[in-house]
């Protein structure tokens, strides 16, 4: 591969990486009773050995009984699970990689009778999974405060075990995004209403994490316009709405924004080629991660139904990265399919790239 920013070192005051390739968080549900096993350590270690600069783990849940929707999703609390994660960190570091857990609360996406503690109702700002679909009473303020504290504790535990930062899952219609989105946040107190009020839950989480960890511990926030409940939903329709959304989050202490799109090449607003990560960097001045169909033709919505995708060239991605539109590039399915994806791109082994098979996730090592 000719000289490209993709394989240049990334250096910021809080984070240094061997290259710009980030493994996107992808849920797997291979952690019995929430405890990551040696299978999980091996899975991430293979991606680090394959040249991935930074691994963001699958979503791992904070300490709230209704944070998870499946007993096999790894949790990020409790002695056993944290000891399991410590082995994952050591395996990735041993392979020369860096790793951050994606801290997750699924909110109203949890179907109570299929989840641990089925007797407990799921949690959401207004108890809505989507507009018109009421599943529970609105969260109490005491519960909101307890969840903020749970995120802070998870971040402190992540730092103590040697993780290289944390990512807050604020995307795709899960709990934090249920606060962001007016479709699921119809509260009339200070946690709902205006854009600033809807952002307050995330702002308080960021501040609590900042005070529970040291100043140089990186905080990444992942967010998306689209929701699993409505692919066409948007938090911001214009650059100025996006600015109103982002600035309080940035000021609260986000170090890196991870901007989730289905296809990185799609412009976010009319009149500019910039994608969501491009706009986010321009507005906040903070580093950003782009994501969405890197190396693949079809987006990932069909992946859960076993849909595959052909490969796609990355030249347009490299041009945008070289131009400084964003700083880092997250790769999902291509890295699921092939742990050595990064090294193959670096060594120009394009003929060895595989299409995404869409096979059951269990069969991909
Ligand atoms: C199997 C699978 C699991 C996923 N799980 C998560 C998750 O836990 N957290 C998250 O933020 N995104 C999740 N995503 C979205 C990916 O992080 C990524 O944004 C998406 O797959 C687009 O990237 P790609 O086109 O390179 O696959 C998941 C995607 C897939 C395919």
For a mutational test of ligand 1's pocket, the pick from 69, 72, 102, 300, i.e. the residue with the most ligand atoms closer than 8 A to its C-beta, is 300
Give the mean pLDDT of 229-236: 96
For a mutational test of ligand 1's pocket, the pick from 275, 332, 334, 357, i.e. the residue with the most ligand atoms closer than 8 A to its C-beta, is 332
* Cβ 22 under 6 angstroms from ligand 1: no
The overall pTM is greater than 0.85:
yes
CB atoms within 10 A of CB 161: 15
For the chain, give the mean pLDDT. Answer: 95
What is the C-alpha to C-alpha distance for residues 27 and 73, in angstroms, rounded to an integer?
7
pLDDT tens-digit map of 103-150: 999 999 999 999 999 999 999 999 999 999 999 999 999 999 999 999
Nearest to 168 by CA among 202, 127, 142, 120: 202
State yes or no: pLDDT of 2 exceeds 90: no
CB atoms within 10 A of CB 304: 10
What residue's CA is closest to ligand 1, atom 21? 332
pLDDT tens-digit map of 24-72: 999 999 999 999 999 999 999 999 999 999 999 999 999 999 999 999 9
Domain CATH code at residue 41: 3.20.20.70
* Cβ 300 under 6 angstroms from ligand 1: yes
The gap from C-alpha 340 to its chain's centroid, in whole angstroms, comes to 21
Atom of ligand 1 nearest to the CA of 293: 25
* Cβ 291 under 6 angstroms from ligand 1: yes
What is the C-alpha to C-alpha distance for residues 11 and 218, in angstroms, rounded to an integer?
13
Q: Which residues have CB under 8 Å from 324's CB, separation 6+?
A: none
Residue for token pair 């986000």: 254
State the pLDDT at residue 362: 61
pLDDT tens-digit map of 75-94: 999 999 999 999 999 999 99
Domain count, the chain: 1
Residue 26 CA to ligand 1 centre (angstroms): 5
CB atoms within 10 A of CB 49: 18
For 225, the domain range is 5-363
What is the C-alpha to C-alpha distance for residues 314 and 151, in angstroms, rounded to an integer?
36
* Cβ 62 under 6 angstroms from ligand 1: no
């Amino acid at each position: 591969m000719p000289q490209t920013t993709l394989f240049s070192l990334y250096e910021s005051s809080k984070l240094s990486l061997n290259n710009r390739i980030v493994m996107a968080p992808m849920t797997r549900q291979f952690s019995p009773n929430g405890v990551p096993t040696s299978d999980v350590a091996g899975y991430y270690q293979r991606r680090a050995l394959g040249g991935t600069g930074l691994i963001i783990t699958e979503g791992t849940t904070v300490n709230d009984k209704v944070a998870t929707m499946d007993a096999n999703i790894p949790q990020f609390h409790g002695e056993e699970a944290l000891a399991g994660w410590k082995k994952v960190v050591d395996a990735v570091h041993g392979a020369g990689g860096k790793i951050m857990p994606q801290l997750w609360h699924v909110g109203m996406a949890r179907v109570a009778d299929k989840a641990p503690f089925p007797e407990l109702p799921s949690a959401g700002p207004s108890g809505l999974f989507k507009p018109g679909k009421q599943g529970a009473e609105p969260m109490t303020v005491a519960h909101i405060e307890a969840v903020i504290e749970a995120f802070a504790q998870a971040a402190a535990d992540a730092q103590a075990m040697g993780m290289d930062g944390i990512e807050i899952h604020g995307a795709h219609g899960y709990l934090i995004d249920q606060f962001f989105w007016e479709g699921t946040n119809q509260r009339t107190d200070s946690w709902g209403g205006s854009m600033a009020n809807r952002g307050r839950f995330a702002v308080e989480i960021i501040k609590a994490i900042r005070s529970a960890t040291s100043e140089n511990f990186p905080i990444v926030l992942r967010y998306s316009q689209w929701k699993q409940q409505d692919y066409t939903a948007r938090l911001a329709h214009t650059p100025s709405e996006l600015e109103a959304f982002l600035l309080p989050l940035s000021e609260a202490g986000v170090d890196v924004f991870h901007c989730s799109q289905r296809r990185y090449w799609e412009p976010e607003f009319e009149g500019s080629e910039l994608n969501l990560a491009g706009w986010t960097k321009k507005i906040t001045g903070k580093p950003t991660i782009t994501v969405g169909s890197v190396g693949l033709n079809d987006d990932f919505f069909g992946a859960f139904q076993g849909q595959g995708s052909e490969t796609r060239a990355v030249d347009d991605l490299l041009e945008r990265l070289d131009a400084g539109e964003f700083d880092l590039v997250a790769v999902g399915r291509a890295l699921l399919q092939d742990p050595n994806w990064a090294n193959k791109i670096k060594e120009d082994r394009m003929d060895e790239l595989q299409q995404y098979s869409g096979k059951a996730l269990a069969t991909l090592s």
